[in-house]
Amino acid sequence: MWWDTRNLSEPLDSLELYSQSNSSEMILGGSSLEYSSEAGPTKYLVGTEQGSVISVNLRNRKTNNGVSVFDEGPGKHHGPVYSIQRNPTHNKFFMSIGDWSTKIWSEDIKTPIVTSKYHNSYLTGGCWSPTRPGVFYVTTMDGELHVWDYYHSQNEVAYSHKIGTSALSAIGIEGNTQCGGKLVAVGDVDGSVSILEVSDSLAIPQANEKTAIGNMFEREGKREKNLEAREREMKRAKAIAEEQISQNNPDGEKNTSPSDEDILAQINSKFQAILNADDGNDNEDKENTV
Average of pLDDT values for 3-18?
91
> pTM for the complete prediction?
0.77
Per-residue pLDDT tens digits for 174-212: 877 566 789 999 999 999 999 999 999 999 888 899 999
DSSP, collapsed to helix, strand or coil, labels residue 208 as: coil
> In the prediction, which pLDDT does 92 show?
93
Q: For position 266, what pLDDT does the model report? A: 72
For 94-116, what is each residue's pLDDT tens digit?
Answer: 999 999 999 999 998 989 999 99
Is the predicted pLDDT of residue 65 greater than 90, yes or no?
no
- The answer, yes or no, to whether residue 18 has pLDDT greater than 90, is no
Give the confidence band of 21 by pLDDT, cuts at 50, 70, 90.
low
CA 32 to CA 170: how far, in whole Å?
12
Q: Which residues contact 99 (CB under 8 A, 6 or more apart)?
A: 51, 77, 78, 79, 118, 122, 123
243 vs 119, more confident: 119
282 phi and psi angles, rounded to 5 deg? -65, -40
pLDDT of residue 286: 45
> Would you state the pLDDT for residue 268?
73
| Distance in angstroms between the alpha carbons of the first and the last residue of the chain | 103
SS3 79: coil
Domain ranges of the chain: 18-229
The answer, yes or no, to whether residue 135 has pLDDT greater than 80, is yes
Contact 99, 113 (CB under 8 A): no
Total Cβ atoms within 10 A of residue 211: 10
The answer for residues whose C-beta is within 8 angstroms of residue 209's C-beta and 6 or more apart is 132, 133, 134, 151
Q: What pLDDT, on the 0 to 100 scale, is given for residue 257?
A: 52
- The CA distance from 154 to 27, in Å, is 35
What is the model's pLDDT at position 290? 44
The predicted pLDDT at position 252 comes to: 54
How far apart, in whole angstroms, are the C-alpha atoms of residue 86 and residue 88? 6
Region of poorest pLDDT, from 100-104, 268-272, 280-284? 280-284
Closest CA to 194 of 157, 169, 159: 169
What average pLDDT score do residues 145-172 get? 93
The CATH number assigned to the domain with range 18-229 reads: 2.130.10.10
Supply the mean pLDDT for the chain.
Answer: 85
Does 276 have pLDDT greater than 90?
A: no
Q: Which of 5-9, 63-67, 92-96, 114-118 has the lowest mean pLDDT?
A: 63-67
When pLDDT is cut at 50, 70 and 90, the band that residue 283 belongs to is low
How would you write 41-59 as a 3-class SS string? CCEEEEEECCCCEEEEEHH
